[in-house]
Amino acid sequence: MSVYNRSVLDGSSAPQARWELYRVLAEPVRLKLLALASAEELAIGELAGLLGESQPNVSRHLTPLKQAGLVLVRREGARGLVRMAAAAAADAVVADALASGYALCEADGSLARIKDVLRERDQVAREFFAKEPRDRDERRRDVLDGLEATAAHVAAIAMLLPRRGLAVDAGTGDGALLDVLAPSFDRVVAVDRSGVQLERAQARVTRRGFSNVSLLNAELGAASLREHVGDGADVVFASRLLHHAPRPVDLIRQLAQLARPAIVTEENASDIGGAVVIVDYAPHEDESMRDEADLWLGFAASELARFAREADLENPNVVRLPAAWCGKGRDSHLPWQVMVARRRH
């Protein structure tokens, strides 16, 4: 926060700086923006839709809120994403303004409509993956494709894993990851909410002769998936799934719930919990990926680690992957990274 912003919030410099805070908050639209930005990180266009305002007008009202250090605006490609600054609500004046903003948003229904915004985000991915594969999709070669000749080596390396009873492939898609998981684990549950994608995965399972793979058409939070997972998986994989999620932290929470919790014995010796492994993009600027139902243009390593901690995972470790490991598909030019974190007991 700049010196100017600190003075506005805590009155540490000239009295006019403190007076400026009252001026910034003396506008109903700004109070509403502050409340909405505290409830959810939202794009400027989404805020405009919620409030029935034009984007230029929303941007105009956000400027003094940003200058006062009350909201943070981060760029993601062509979009500006707005959230309330975490420390701002500690100020008594801001807290009172926030309460007024919530009341205004509840009265006009904009607060409740945030759920609709999240559903609209989710619908983009649902419709994309419900389509029959296009020609270019059929020509894509995933980084894990073509492992028939090396499956024996994968199985041999898997012997080094401390636990390999059950793996979950969340959002399995065409099942490319199964070429690695099936030889490595005693049992694999591959789940996807798209029937079209599961048909492709089933064709792969049949072609490979994987007898230890169960395919499930379900949401990640479905009771049927929990039944298949039982006490929890040793490893839960989500490969290039997070950037399609309306709220990435919620998806990571669902993944965490599928992992086996750590076991604490009477001797206080703790067995580490199941791992959550997420492969996704680092931040990039390729707006054309939104045509692939990408809601987010990658994630900073610190952002992934924060999501993991909020999902009650521990020891998140994020590593950038070499370009040579990123396949030859539509997204091969993007920066890939992998995060591994463990479920707590």
pLDDT digits (tens, 9 = 90+) for 143-158: 444 445 566 777 778 8
Average pLDDT of the chain to the nearest whole number: 88
CB 318 within 8 A of CB 301: yes
283 vs 18, more confident: 283
Q: Residue 22: give the domain boundaries.
A: 3-112
Q: Are residues 204 and 279 in the same domain?
A: yes
Rounded to whole angstroms, the Cα distance separating 204 from 172 reads 11
Does residue 320 sit within a domain?
A: yes
Does residue 330 sit within a domain?
A: yes
pLDDT digits (tens, 9 = 90+) for 205-258: 999 999 999 999 999 999 999 999 999 999 999 999 999 999 999 999 999 999
Q: State the helix-helix crossing angle for 44-51 and 55-67, rounded to 10 degrees.
A: 110
CATH for 284: 3.40.50.150
Question: What one-character-per-residue DSSP string does 147-194 give?
Answer: -GGGHHHHHHHHTT-S--SEEEEET-TT-TTHHHHHHHSSEEEEEES-
Q: Is the dihedral of CA 97, 100, 106, 108 positive or negative?
A: negative
CATH for 82: 1.10.10.10
What is the enclosing helix (H) or strand (E) of 75?
strand 71-76
Q: Are residues 93 and 189 in the same domain?
A: no
pLDDT at residue 8 in the model: 57
Total count of domains within the chain: 2
Does residue 8 sit within a domain?
A: yes
